């Protein structure tokens, strides 16, 4: 007989079985955690991109308003109206 008692060997064997049995669950939890993190990054990038698009449209609108306000004569207004209504 070995120097270890039968209950100690049984306890070590049960602990090893417990670790082996929990490995698939831990792997699936890790996969779900990675998927949740990837979704969070995706939403963050989407919001950031939408904010950048808003800034670009705001600057384009501002430039358009500045251009309209800078044309102060009736001749300029008539030429702009002609350019807008002209068909290519």
How large is the average pLDDT for residues 64-75? Answer: 76
Tokens of 9: 């060997």
End-to-end CA gap in the chain: 100
Q: Over 80: is that where the pLDDT of 9 sits?
A: no
Tens digit of each residue's pLDDT (9 = 90 or more) over 39-58: 999 999 999 999 999 999 99
Please say whether the beta carbons of 71 and 77 come within 8 A.
yes
Q: Over 60: is that where the pLDDT of 2 sits?
A: no
How large is the average pLDDT for residues 57-69? Answer: 88
pTM for the complete prediction? Answer: 0.52
């Amino acid at each position: 007989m070995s120097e270890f008692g039968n209950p100690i060997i049984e306890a070590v064997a049960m602990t090893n079985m417990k670790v082996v049995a929990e490995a698939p669950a831990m792997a699936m939890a890790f996969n779900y955690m990675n998927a949740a993190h990837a979704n969070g990054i995706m939403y963050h990038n989407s919001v950031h991109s939408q904010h950048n698009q808003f800034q670009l449209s705001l600057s384009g609108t501002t430039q358009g308003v500045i251009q309209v306000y800078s044309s102060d004569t009736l001749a300029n207004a008539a030429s702009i109206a002609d350019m807008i209504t002209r068909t290519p």
